[in-house]
Amino acid sequence: MAYKNRGNFGLCISLFVILLSSSFLAISSVPVSKVYAQNDYEYYGYVPAKIYDYNLTDQNNLSSGWRLDTRSVAKAGLVVVTGIEENTHVEFYCLTNGTKVYEKTISSMENACIKFKNGTFFKVVTDKFADVLLLNIISLDEAKYNPLPANWQTLWTLPLPFTFFYDVNGKYVGKDFIMMAVQINIYQQYTIFALEKSIITVTREDGDVDTETIEANSYKRFVWEPFMVYHIESTGNIMIHCGNIGQTTFYVPCTEGGFVGEHFYSVSVERNTWDTIESNGYRVSATQNTKITVWDLQTKQQLFSADVPAGSGYGFKPAALAFFVESDHPVTLVHIHNGSIERAVSSGPTNGIHGAYGSGVGYFGVKPDEDTPFYLPVDSYVEAYIFASEDTEVIIDGNPSTVRANTYYTFSQPGTHIISADKNVIVETLSWPSTPDYQGLQYSGVQVPCIQTVDLMTGVTLIPLTEGFPITYIIIGAAVAAAGVIVVILFLRGRGKKAQ
């Protein structure tokens, strides 16, 4: 595969397509005109309809009134495709009517992008595998045509994606990655996990090169320039995560391939950083009784273990900058916020005890004939969109439905669910607080998976973690286990709905 540095950003020709939004039932199907040619790689998505958020005037006083944060209002989302191979042809479609709105041929490490109005379902088609991002850039509604922002230094916020990245083959574990960075460049927002000892070479599009060595079952964080394309090569298998943790949803892929497995790496925060009341954290969901064990990647110590009942889940807040989860049986892992606005700590009226805001846009894939458990928050508005590239039978909680090629189903029932399908499908989930009832969804960005690569397996054999037993970490593990129990309780309560 040949790679080359990208030149100046080209103009991205965009055509607005407005999708009239309406309330969705718990499950509904939307037909789409089947006018697509046979193509190799397809990526589906939806730009949230209500991109804004309201805040209490005084977050320590529920009666102080809600005000719109005008800086949070966006009227469009930006879809960016980064080429992995030379001469990659990219086509952008409005999924509502099958209309092709833009096409471009790009080189390796070159971008093609377009903006879609809020409430638009879209599809990207490439003849060679590529990297695709859905980003929320507030300034997008200021211009009719949108290249990537050249004046990003003037933006009040940047659309830092909360997501794991796939490699050049579509797997979340690999040795070769090409991706565009989007971040506030003074923070270490990109984390590389090494599944084995790895020498990593990071080449920026302008030729800048950085080389680092990461030991097995360790990690390192990086600062990368916004809107620059990077080529990451490694001598060993690695995983790459963007963002931190807190109030945003992201699904954690397993090392085996896809999202249902027994081994996971992810980021967290140190002890005493998690809010003890706020209803956020990690959640494991299981289809059968299983035991999970959580390890601190920095100390290589076991933090705690827990039993997860079949058809339910377990929430926890790991006190470690990075951690590893192993389970007896296949599970899914997600970082999620349940939607409650309550939290324990207040630092003033603009950051008070009623100021929690949990939302997000996340993706996971469902392999053929594999039961995939997932969770939708119970104190939030929730929407899940299930996309299929060919006629597919989908079963949710034992209820079968048919998703026609290039259509989507919507599902909006909070709680724990199990989905399966007879072919690859992609699920995009949206959640945002239900207080106040006119609240909007604020998100930053997410990688859009390719539906054709959902069922790829990695074949990776992990190196076991070593463990010692200093009394300090036994005490820490007990404290974190207690915090995990609190999160479980928070994840199970809701507005008259019980998450099973």
- Helix or strand or coil: residue 478? helix
Q: Which of 426, 418, 416, 428 has the alpha carbon at shortest distance from 455?
A: 426
CA 229 to chain centre: 19
Q: Measured on CA atoms in the order 256, 391, 360, 161, is the torsion positive or negative?
A: positive
Residue 141 has pLDDT above 50, yes or no: no
CB–CB of 374/285 below 8 Å?
A: yes
What pLDDT is attached to residue 412?
Answer: 96
Q: For the segment 12-57, what is each residue's pLDDT rounded down to a tens digit?
A: 333 222 222 332 223 333 333 333 344 589 999 999 999 999 999 9
Across 29-38, 59-68, 269-278, 311-320, least confident range: 29-38
Ramachandran region, residue 397 (left: φ > 0; alpha: ψ -120 to 50; beta: rest): left
Q: Which residue has the higher pLDDT, 477 or 299?
A: 299
DSSP symbol at 20: P
- Residue given tokens 């600062």 in the structure block: 223
Cα–Cα distance, 121 to 93 (Å, whole number): 9
CA 297 to chain centre: 22
Mean pLDDT of 191-198: 97
Close Cβ partners of 458 (under 8 Å, ≥ 6 residues apart): 171, 172, 173, 174, 237, 255, 256, 257
What confidence tier does 9 reach under pLDDT thresholds 50, 70, 90? very low
Tally of residues, the chain? 500
Cα–Cα distance, 480 to 245 (Å, whole number): 16
Residue 143 has pLDDT above 90, yes or no: no
Two structure tokens written together for 93:
């479609």
What is the residue-averaged pLDDT of the chain? 84
Q: Which of 148, 125, 59 has the alpha carbon at shortest distance from 353?
A: 59
Q: Which of 273, 253, 249, 272 has the alpha carbon at shortest distance from 261?
A: 253
- Helix or strand or coil: residue 126? strand
What pLDDT is attached to residue 4?
Answer: 39
Cα–Cα distance, 443 to 457 (Å, whole number): 30
CA of 221: how far to CAs of 78, 233, 373, 452, in Å? Answer: 26, 16, 30, 30
Two structure tokens written together for 12:
């991205």
Question: In the β-sheet with 121-126, what is the strand arrangement from edge to edge?
Answer: 41-46, 121-126, 88-94, 99-106
Q: For the segment 339-360, what is each residue's pLDDT rounded down to a tens digit?
A: 999 988 877 777 889 989 999 8
Cα–Cα distance, 415 to 492 (Å, whole number): 8
Q: Measured on CA atoms in the order 336, 340, 343, 346, is the torsion positive or negative?
A: positive
User: Taking CA 417 as the corner, what is the angle to CA 371 and CA 290, rounded to the nearest 5 degrees?
Assistant: 60
Cα–Cα distance, 276 to 272 (Å, whole number): 8
CB–CB of 226/184 below 8 Å?
A: yes
Residue 87 has pLDDT above 60, yes or no: yes
DSSP assignments along 424-448, one per residue: -EEEEEEEEE-SSTT------EEEP
CB–CB of 213/198 below 8 Å?
A: yes
CB–CB of 170/85 below 8 Å?
A: no
Close Cβ partners of 25 (under 8 Å, ≥ 6 residues apart): 410, 412
- The backbone torsions φ and ψ at residue 489, rounded to the nearest 5 degrees and listed phi first, read -60, -45
Q: Strand pairing partners for 375?
A: 416
Mean pLDDT of 455-471: 76
User: Which of 133-142, 271-280, 319-328 tops mean pLDDT?
Assistant: 319-328
Close Cβ partners of 207 (under 8 Å, ≥ 6 residues apart): 5
Q: For the segment 113-138, what is each residue's pLDDT rounded down to a tens digit?
A: 888 999 999 999 999 999 999 998 76
What pLDDT is attached to residue 175?
Answer: 98
CB–CB of 428/363 below 8 Å?
A: yes
Two structure tokens written together for 196:
């084995």
Q: For the segment 164-173, what is each residue's pLDDT rounded down to a tens digit?
A: 999 999 999 9
User: What percent of the chain has a predicted confidence (pLDDT) above 70?
Assistant: 80
CB–CB of 24/320 below 8 Å?
A: no
- Residue given tokens 């859009």 in the structure block: 448
Cα–Cα distance, 394 to 365 (Å, whole number): 13
Give the domain ranges of the chain. Answer: 27-492
